[in-house]
């Protein structure tokens, strides 16, 4: 008999798009599931939309937070309400392939793992792209196949110790909350998501499982990750941003500034976890790489604020505190000696992501 899987969808003002995510769950070949939709205090007609789905299928439940708790808090509400032996997550603007749940449960049984992940495709507008089919990603996957145990001729990679180190070593992230299926009993040890994080709350949560439990990665896509313009992260096409004119668009600038602070907070937390880990081989190098990432975030904030010298200098000092580079050092000097605000021209090493 199929074991019950509790699926958690956090949502906020997504009445116009959430039905696609729910339909992808209805299309699953694995049928013994419950869907918990957690409404994070929406102001649109999300509840009416979900109630309509409930009338069609009683496996769906609707829960509404009494106040907005953010994506981490909404997922926590769903996990606390879960009744299944397994827990899975899906965002309200994304979708699963029909075999996601059945393949994930099959992988857990085959590998005796506690957690399973899979890869994904990205959907930007009407364009679908698979980001794991280039040389860098293929080499990263092959390196993991060489280092760790595999199943099904390398289609599944199994990790016990060393996954956190591999995560820090790769430029590409191979793990996403939307493809995660794990045994609910692990919640007693792992706990809930840190609700203080609005960016990186998913990644910092996943890291709690690394090197503590047996984890399986399925190296084929299971999920369609939609880069929606109203999402917390993909609110604009960042490839098209001009760093020299962002300051003219206060709305975009404020969002980037807020996300930068949230990203720094998450990276600082990851740094603490890395410093405490007993399974990272070259810890000094890994910590240095994290510092470079944080320094780059502060450098970017300094550059974007170069028309406000006092603010720019404050951010640049923070950048230098984490890692001194030719870029932040020159920027700091130029901010000190330049008599014209905005005369700085060093766009290299900016991190708008």
Domain ranges of the chain: 5-226, 238-337
Helices (H) and strands (E) in the chain, counts: 12, 11
Residue 250 pLDDT more than 90? no
Query: In this predicted model, what pLDDT tens digit does every residue of 256-281 receive, in sequence order?
Result: 899 999 999 999 999 999 999 999 99
Question: Confidence band (pLDDT; 50, 70, 90) for 126?
Answer: confident
The closest of 152, 118, 151, 119 to 133, measured between CA atoms, is: 119
* 339 pLDDT tier (thresholds 50, 70, 90): low
Highest-pLDDT range among 6-10, 303-307, 345-349: 6-10
Write phi, then psi, for 309 (nearest 5 degrees): -60, -40
Contact between 61 and 34 under an 8 Å Cβ cutoff? The reply is yes
Q: Is 80 exceeded by the pLDDT of residue 238?
A: no
What local confidence, expressed as pLDDT, does residue 347 receive? 60
Question: Does 228 score more than 70 pLDDT?
Answer: no
CA angle 238, 243, 333 (to 5 degrees): 140
Question: Helices in the chain by DSSP H: which ranges?
Answer: 18-26, 46-56, 70-81, 100-111, 135-147, 163-169, 187-190, 201-206, 250-276, 283-304, 309-322, 326-337
The pLDDT tens digits for 49-59 are 999 999 999 99
What pLDDT shows up at residue 340?
57
> Is pLDDT of 188 > 60?
yes
Residues 3-47 pLDDT 10s? 999 999 999 999 999 999 999 999 999 999 999 999 999 999 999
Of 94-108, 204-218, 223-237, the poorest mean pLDDT is in 223-237
Helix, strand or coil for residue 181? strand
Q: What is the mean pLDDT of residues 202-214?
A: 97
- The mean pLDDT value of the chain amounts to 91
pLDDT at 253: 85
Total-model pTM: 0.90
Q: Is 206 helix (H, G, I), strand (E, B) or coil?
A: helix
Q: Which CATH fold would you assign to the domain 5-226?
A: Spore Coat Polysaccharide Biosynthesis Protein SpsA; Chain A (3.90.550)
From residue 103, how far is each of 71, 89, 116 by CA, in Å?
26, 15, 10
The confidence score (pLDDT) of residue 306 equals 85
């Amino acid at each position: 008999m199929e074991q019950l899987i509790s699926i958690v969808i956090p949502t906020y003002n997504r009445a116009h798009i959430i039905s696609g995510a729910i339909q992808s769950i209805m299309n699953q070949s694995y049928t013994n599931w419950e869907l918990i939709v957690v409404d994070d205090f929406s102001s649109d007609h999300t509840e009416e939309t979900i109630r309509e789905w409930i009338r069609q299928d009683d496996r769906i439940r609707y829960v509404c937070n009494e106040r907005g708790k953010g994506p981490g808090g909404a997922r926590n509400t769903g996990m606390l309400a879960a009744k299944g032996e397994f827990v899975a997550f899906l965002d309200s603007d994304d979708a699963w392939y029909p075999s996601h749940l059945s393949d994930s449960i099959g992988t857990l049984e085959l590998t005796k793992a506690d957690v399973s992940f899979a890869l994904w495709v990205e959907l930007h507008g009407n364009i679908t792209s698979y980001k794991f089919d280039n040389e860098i990603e293929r080499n990263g996957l092959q390196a993991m196949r060489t280092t760790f145990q595999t199943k099904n001729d390398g289609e599944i990679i199994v990790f016990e110790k060393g996954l956190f180190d591999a995560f820090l070593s790769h430029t590409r992230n191979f793990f996403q909350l939307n493809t995660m299926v794990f045994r609910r009993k692990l919640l007693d040890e792992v706990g809930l998501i840190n609700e203080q994080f609005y960016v990186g709350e998913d990644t910092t949560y996943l890291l709690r499982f690394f090197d503590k439990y047996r984890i399986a990665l399925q190296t084929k896509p299971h999920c369609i990750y939609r880069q929606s313009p109203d999402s917390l992260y993909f609110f604009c096409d960042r490839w098209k941003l001009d760093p020299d004119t962002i300051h003219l668009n206060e709305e975009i600038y404020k969002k980037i500034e807020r996300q930068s602070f949230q990203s720094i907070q998450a990276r600082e937390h990851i740094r603490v976890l890395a410093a405490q880990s007993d399974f990272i081989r070259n810890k000094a190098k890994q910590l240095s790489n994290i510092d470079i990432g944080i320094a780059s975030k502060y450098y970017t904030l300094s550059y974007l604020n170069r028309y406000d010298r006092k603010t720019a200098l404050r951010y640049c000092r923070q950048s230098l505190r984490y890692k001194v580079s030719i870029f932040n050092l020159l920027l700091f000097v130029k901010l000190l000696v330049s008599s014209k605000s905005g005369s700085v021209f060093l766009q290299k090493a900016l991190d708008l992501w």
